[in-house]
Amino acid sequence: MNPVLKLLLEGGNLTTAQIAQVANLAVSEVEQRLEQLKKDKVLLGWRPVLDLSNEAAAAATVRAVIEVKITPERGGGFNRLAERLARFDEVESCYLMSGGYDLLVFVKGASLQKVAGFVSEKLSTIEGVISTSTHFMLRCYKDQGFLLNTGEASTTRLTITP
Amino acid sequence: MSTDSKRWVAGHVAALPKSGIRDFFELVAKMKGQDVISLGVGEPDFVTPWNIREAAIFALERGKTYYTSNLGLIELRRAISTYVTEHFGVDYRPDDQVIVTVGVSEALDLALRAFCNPGDKVMFHQPCYVSYHPSIALVHGQAVGVPTYARDNFALTAEALRSAWQPGCKILMLNLPCNPTGGTCDRVQLEAIAAFCREKDLLVLSDEIYSELTFEGTHTSIASLPGMAERTIFLHGFSKAFAMTGWRLGYACGPAVLIDAMMKVHQYTMLCASIIAQEAALEALTRGWDHVLKMREQYHRRRDLVVRRFNEIGLKCHSPRGSFYAFPSVAGTGRTEKEFSAGLLTEQKVAVVPGSAFGDNGIGHVRACFATSYEQLIVACDRIERFVQQPKA
């Protein structure tokens, strides 16, 4: 695997210069590889992972997961509707699922009302959407591999050991 | 109270030198609260993988709080036997050829107590782990050091072994890959050592705690070579590969008669290793290998980074084939290893361990552990560079 991509996936927080040092590449080469990853549409962009229990970070964000049942179509199956739903700004992620419903949609909004409004006015009124079941997220314990508020001592190693 | 309580201390214990690491630890302790980056540790920076920790919690929940068999849980011994066969190519019967111990440290102590008569000579390569020499002294054995050199990447050679050998040598202690040098032996070198052991009828205590952290080539256990299993105690544990140092769990495998002798000492002194640690270790062997591979990959990258930077800075450093230690020479800086370590600590706040703490052949070197994050390693190397470049005070 591309060593730059590998280091990014490890979830550390290395700067381009640090990645260059660890991977033993020139900084320009790291930059070029990052550009290439973007060009190849492997790397789509950057998002910070925030601890939303922190008020400043949360900035009045409400998150919900919505199970959506839709009617598949001759020719395109679930794709056309799924892509249509996914285009809404409120939708952060959208997956086709196996099991009791078809789409799992992660949405966020500035308030409960806004998310509720999105579901009742936009999502459920789309032709082909049979039903929705909305679950509001109450608290986050782990996000994208980052544990929140574990209270785990990060370094209790002695400084010098044999 | 009388101040000469010293008179109660046994002579051979009073005569033991204080660990060189201890001196340095005290120096570092004085720097507390300052932004010291420590490359002085001898353990992984990873926390034990969660599934292993969870297995221990589960064991507690089920009330697993009692003694185990002296040899250790039979399920764990079976898992060890399978693991050793798969990874080292040696077969040991779980029933009577495997004993679970409190770290490899206990296993080494058991072996020395079980096999070394007072006055017997025990060979070990230097520089080496800090406990080897004292452990031999504690059983009234005579320590016979065998030098290893930077020019050989600190591999032990059969020639060095032959020239250090003297009549009365009974045991050879091996630690490959080696703490502190990261040196190890390839198969050809090991075969020459094995031939020498057979010729001189030496019993081998092979501490292979760093074997999973071999970055180039494959690790060969001396026990797997022809005619060696019957004269080798294979020592291994969970501390390094599975990031389980604080659990204190290791094991020894060998001929049934020898394991039985070690078990005798173990049953009277330790009774058994902690059952919680044993339960966790069982999980480590059954479902921990992916973690080992992930951690090894990171150590590998860190090693390449640190060794490259040390050589750029002018600290001549061989690339350790295994372990998580670099052992650069500081001779070119015009400082002794002690001056270098103390100066680096006070002036640039980076802790490394003077190589002389690991024996005379470590003079002129320092041990730098790279089991630390990339960010810290990068900063530490930059600081070391500044330290080396400024004129000696």
Domain containing residue B40: CATH number: 3.90.1150.10
As a whole number of angstroms, the distance between CA B136 and CA B113 comes to 9
Q: What residue of A is the nearest CA neighbor of B299?
A: A22
Cβ contacts (< 8 Å) between A20 and chain B: which residues? Answer: none
Is B41 close to A160, i.e. CB distance below 8 A?
yes
In terms of domains, do B280 and B368 share one?
A: no
How many residue pairs from chains A and B have C-beta atoms closer than 8 A?
A: 60
Last residue in a domain, options B224, B254, B287:
B287
In terms of domains, do B341 and B283 share one?
A: no
As a whole number of angstroms, the distance between CA B161 and CA B189 comes to 12
Is A160 close to B374, i.e. CB distance below 8 A?
no
Domain with B220 in it: 50-287
Q: What is the pLDDT of residue B2?
A: 59
In terms of domains, do B268 and B303 share one?
A: no
Last residue in a domain, options B287, B319, B348:
B287
- The domain total for chain B is 2
Residue B161 pLDDT level (bands cut at 50, 70, 90): very high
Q: Is residue B132 part of a domain?
A: yes
In terms of domains, do B19 and B83 share one?
A: no
Last residue in a domain, options B266, B287, B308:
B287
pLDDT in tens, A68-117: 999 999 988 999 999 999 999 999 999 999 999 999 999 999 999 999 99
The H or E element spanning position A31 is helix A27-39
Q: What is the pLDDT of residue B19?
A: 84
In terms of domains, do B123 and B148 share one?
A: yes
For residue B205, the SS3 value is: strand
Q: Which DSSP symbol is given to B153?
A: T
In terms of domains, do B324 and B190 share one?
A: no
Residue B389 pLDDT level (bands cut at 50, 70, 90): very high
In terms of domains, do B336 and B257 share one?
A: no
In terms of domains, do B184 and B199 share one?
A: yes
- Mean of pLDDT values over B278-306: 97
Whether the pLDDT of residue A155 is over 80: the answer is no
Q: Is residue B3 part of a domain?
A: no
Q: Is the pTM of this model over 0.80?
A: yes
As a whole number of angstroms, the distance between CA B324 and CA B320 comes to 8
Is A23 close to B301, i.e. CB distance below 8 A?
yes
Q: Is residue B4 part of a domain?
A: no
In terms of domains, do B17 and B55 share one?
A: no
The ipTM is 0.79
Q: Is A11 on the interface with B (CB under 8 A)?
A: no
Residue A94 CB partners (closer than 8 Å, separation 6+): A82, A85, A86, A103, A104, A105, A106
In terms of domains, do B273 and B295 share one?
A: no
Residue B101 CB partners (closer than 8 Å, separation 6+): B107, B110, B237, B249, B250, B251, B252, B266, B270, B273
